[in-house]
Copies of this chain bind each other. A is one copy, B any other.
Amino acid sequence: MTGTLDVAAVDAMDAADPLRACRKHFALADGVIYLDGNSLGAASLAAFAELETAARQEWGRDLIKSWNTAGWFQLPLQLGDRVGRLIGAAPGQTVVCDTTSLNIYKTLHAAIALRPGRRVIVSEAGSFPTDLYVAEGVISTLPGMELRLEGTHAPQIEDLIDETVAVVLVNHVNYKSGELRDMAALTKKAHEAGTLVVWDLCHSAGALPVDLDGANVDFAVGCTYKYLNGGPGAPAFIYAARRHHENVVQPLSGWWGHARPFAFEHRYAAGDGMVRFLCGTQPILSLRALKGALDVWDAVDMAVVREKSIALTDIFIRLVEEKCGQYGVALETPRDAARRGSQVSFAHEGAYEIMQALIERGVIGDFRAPSTMRFGFTPLYVGYRDVFQAVNVLEEILRTEVWRDVRYAVRGAVT
């Protein structure tokens, strides 16, 4: 990316963008520059349509019979395969259900049961915290297990892996810095020690090409409400490699995971394949919004998404540093595009207040304590002109120091 980046240049890039037609499928208002799809993906018109059909026709009119006639029971596996296609999983290895946190619980237990005698879980201090909280929960019921963390027990996660480690739980893209790990290399390193790996794809599913099968991954989890645009709190997913299906068990054994749920048997008998990662009755309305959200992906090539994501983030970094560098912003994301996801973080002492001022001006990113401004770039609905305009707004806020106004300092929870 060389040459002058002016309005004409970015408009030319938008005109040539193969994903340009995707934005019209989303409900985004004109003028909104939404750089927070890495927290809550935008709503699609297809999601609205699915939701309305599910509510008014299927629930409202057809009532109980919709469990069969509308395919409600099949949604977890059916949507699982559609998500699976986007993360390099051959059919039958992905199921959509519950939450990322619960799915971490299931996969950690599953991995530990496959590695009896090993007493260590390895993760990273810089993880999105719920991963660590859930690992603590798993350990709380398994005396003798312990948790060792990159950043606490060793500088690099690879240095913590040895024959005592049952499972490594690791984020593909870091939620805060946007740093991308080498999935194939770390998985290989773990397997050399006989250790299994659970990859958390919350910030990579739908953001970049993921090749779970190709990287020989054991388990993966992730959410569907960020880059996949499934809606607020949309159910999460689990991937388990087919080679583990026959022997895998997990303790959240509810009736949806049973081999014959409608036989109403007294004893649990785990269903085949991914069925055994299901537990209770799933929230159908939320699943149906996700079903609609996945439609737009049918026509999208993830390599094209990645190419645009890199261009968007490269340009954003370049423009922010050119136009705002003098105001004390500091890049927190790897400069090497091969080592980052689809987000860029900058640190600034006034990060919270600056973000409030940006949001007030229609540029929506988010803040992570203590001093991070986080910007997500969703290639399906963010364009080059958006990036250009966002940096101009940021520059004005920094140059005028309007962010020091007391009204921007009132804090609320931001996810």
| Interface residues as binary, A46-74 with B (CB distance below 8 Å gives 1, 0 otherwise) | 01100110111011110111111000110
B56, A27: Cβ atoms under 8 Å? Answer: yes
Which of A192-200, A225-233, A332-340, A386-394 interfaces with chain B?
A225-233
Q: A285-B232, A369-B262 are in contact. Are A255 and B102 (CB under 8 A)?
A: no
A223, B281: Cβ atoms under 8 Å? Answer: yes
Assess whether A305 is interfacial by the CB under 8 Å rule. no
Q: A254-B134, A369-B262 are in contact. Are A413 and B56 (CB under 8 A)?
A: no
Question: In the complex, what distance in Å separates the CA atom of A142 from the CA atom of B251?
Answer: 10
Residues of B within 8 A of A281 (CB): 99-101, 223, 225, 232-233
Residues of B within 8 A of A155 (CB): none
A-B contact pairs, 20 of them (CB 8 A): A27-B56, A34-B63, A43-B60, A47-B55, A48-B55, A51-B55, A64-B415, A65-B364, A68-B412, A72-B233, A98-B280, A129-B255, A133-B255, A136-B268, A137-B251, A140-B249, A141-B251, A232-B284, A234-B283, A284-B286
B130, A280: Cβ atoms under 8 Å? Answer: yes
Interface members, chain A 318-367 (any B CB < 8 Å): 359, 364, 366
B268, A233: Cβ atoms under 8 Å? Answer: no
Q: A236-B280, A414-B262 are in contact. Are A36 and B63 (CB under 8 A)?
A: yes
Question: In the complex, what distance in Å separates the CA atom of A235 from the CA atom of B285?
Answer: 11
| Interface residues as binary, A153-188 with B (CB distance below 8 Å gives 1, 0 otherwise) | 000000000000000000000001000000000000
Question: In the complex, what distance in Å separates the CA atom of A250 from the CA atom of B136?
Answer: 11
Question: In the complex, what distance in Å separates the CA atom of A58 from the CA atom of B105?
Answer: 31
Most buried by B among A132, A136, A252, A369: A252
Assess whether A19 is interfacial by the CB under 8 Å rule. no
Assess whether A266 is interfacial by the CB under 8 Å rule. yes
Residues of B within 8 A of A223 (CB): 281
Assess whether A39 is interfacial by the CB under 8 Å rule. yes
Most buried by B among A232, A234, A251, A265: A232
B268, A67: Cβ atoms under 8 Å? Answer: no
| Contact among B34, B235, B289 with A55 in the assembled complex (CB-CB below 8 Å) | B289
Residues of B within 8 A of A21 (CB): none
Question: In the complex, what distance in Å separates the CA atom of A368 from the CA atom of B223?
Answer: 35
B289, A61: Cβ atoms under 8 Å? Answer: no
Residues of B within 8 A of A133 (CB): 253-255, 257-258, 268
Assess whether A282 is interfacial by the CB under 8 Å rule. yes
Assess whether A310 is interfacial by the CB under 8 Å rule. no
Assess whether A308 is interfacial by the CB under 8 Å rule. no
* Interface footprint category on A: 35 or more
Chain B residue at minimal CB-CB distance from A236:
B280
Chain B residue at minimal CB-CB distance from A134:
B254
A66, B232: Cβ atoms under 8 Å? Answer: yes
Question: In the complex, what distance in Å separates the CA atom of A51 from the CA atom of B176?
Answer: 32
| Contact among B34, B47, B132, B233 with A267 in the assembled complex (CB-CB below 8 Å) | B132
Q: A47-B55, A280-B236 are in contact. Are A64 and B136 (CB under 8 A)?
A: no
Question: In the complex, what distance in Å separates the CA atom of A364 from the CA atom of B98?
Answer: 30
Assess whether A90 is interfacial by the CB under 8 Å rule. no
| Interface residues as binary, A80-105 with B (CB distance below 8 Å gives 1, 0 otherwise) | 00000000000000000011111001
Chain B residue at minimal CB-CB distance from A143:
B143
A51, B359: Cβ atoms under 8 Å? Answer: no
Q: A98-B98, A282-B233 are in contact. Are A129 and B359 (CB under 8 A)?
A: no
B280, A283: Cβ atoms under 8 Å? Answer: no
Assess whether A109 is interfacial by the CB under 8 Å rule. yes
Enumerate the 9 nearest inter-chain pairs by beta-carbon distance, A residue then B residue, closest first: A99-B280, A101-B254, A101-B280, A283-B286, A232-B284, A137-B253, A130-B255, A27-B60, A137-B251
